[in-house]
Structures are given as C-alpha cells and as structure tokens.
Amino acid sequence: MEKNRLEAFSDGVIAIIITIMVLEMKVPHGNDFAALKPVLPIFLSYVLSFVYVGIYWSNHHHMLHVTKRVNGPILWANLHLLFWLSLFPFTTGWIGENQLASMPTATYGWVLLMAAVSYWVLQRAIIRQQGTTSLLAQAVGNDWKGKLSPALYAAAIPLAFVSPWLANSVFVLVALIWLIPDRRIERVLPRHQS
C-alpha cells in the first residue's frame, strides 16, 4: 500500500482541523474595542491550539517522510491520531469561552494526552513495520520529548482543579519544548542519503 494517499488524507484532515478552530471565534456584534475583549481568551486558546496542531503536522510530516510503506495497523493508528486531533476545535472553544476554567482545562489536557498517546502508538506501528534498524527507529532514539509530554499532560489534568492557570502554563511549556527545533530526523537523513 502506498503512503501518498495516507499523507494526502492526513494533510486534508489536519488542514481542516487547524482552520475550523477559528470558527469558534464568533464575530462580535459590537464594533468597538470592548467587543473584542471576550474574544481575547478564545484567541489565545486558538493560538495555542494552532501551535499544537502545527507541531503535530510537522512531526507527522517528518515521520511519514521516512516511512516507506503503510499497512492496515498504520492506517488505523493514523485515523486514531486524527480522531483525537479532531477534538481540538471542541476543547479549544470550550477552554476559550470559559476563560480557562478547571473542567475545560482538564478536558483540554485529556485530549492532548490522548493525542500524544495515539501519536506514540502510530510511531510504534510504523517502527514495527519498518524494522528496528529503520531510519525512523534510529531517528526517534530515546525520544525524551515523546515521553515527557504525556507525563506533563497527565500531571496537568488534576492540577487544573487546583490552579487552571498553572495547568495551562504546563500546556504552553510543552508546546515551547516541541518548538525548539528537533533535528533528529533531519540529522539522521543526510547520513543515509549520502
């Protein structure tokens, strides 16, 4: 089975997810600065979710790049990841509308956690098919980011009921960790292509 359509379909779904999130920012009825104020927390949660979906797309892009063929388990692990990503617009809208209240924050963390777990499952499915000596297996290495992130999300869920602000800071922190350029796959590639 070829990977092209899997990439194209994932690109389509991720492109729609990242774009429909903005629909949660309802056009305000007033036309002054005050009318923009209730939109601000929704805007901030949109920015954070945009960055997260961007990180997922970028990592997915890299991972599929070193994947040669796909099989049934990879296809379904990929759909499983897309399912959790598809809940981002809902949780982003909920957290934004309630100015980062406890329950929406915990739900946001739970969806982040499930997305991270399903990404890991997809990565395992690909490595199992490609072999442990594959490019991806080497590129992933000890994968400290992939292990740290779900632990931090899991910690942020109960934290949301103590201090939603602290829990949301954890989400921002994890996003920043991933934004630091990750050259693992780019570093391994030239060695093999030359």
- DSSP-assigned letter for residue 26: P
Binder among 38, 41, 44, 79 for its own copies (CB under 8 A) = 79
* Contact predicate 85/102, CB 8 Å: no
Q: Considering the complex, what minimum distance in angstroms separates the CB of residue 97 from its own copies?
A: 6
* Contact predicate 17/53, CB 8 Å: yes
Interaction of residue 158 with its own copies, rule CB under 8 A: no
Beta-carbon neighbour count of residue 153 at 10 Å?
23
Helix 102-130 to helix 164-179 angle, to the nearest 10 degrees? Answer: 30
Binder among 38, 90, 146, 154 for its own copies (CB under 8 A) = 90
Q: Work out whether the CA dihedral 147, 150, 152, 158 comes out positive or negative.
A: negative
Tokens representing residue 97 in the block: 């509308």
Interaction of residue 54 with its own copies, rule CB under 8 A: yes
Q: Considering the complex, what minimum distance in angstroms separates the CB of residue 142 from its own copies?
A: 21
> By the criterion CB under 8 A, which residues form the site for its own copies?
1-2, 5-9, 11-20, 22-25, 27-29, 31-33, 35-36, 47, 50, 54, 57-58, 61-62, 65, 71-72, 75-76, 79, 82-83, 86-87, 89-90, 93-94, 97-98, 101-104, 107, 179, 181-183, 186
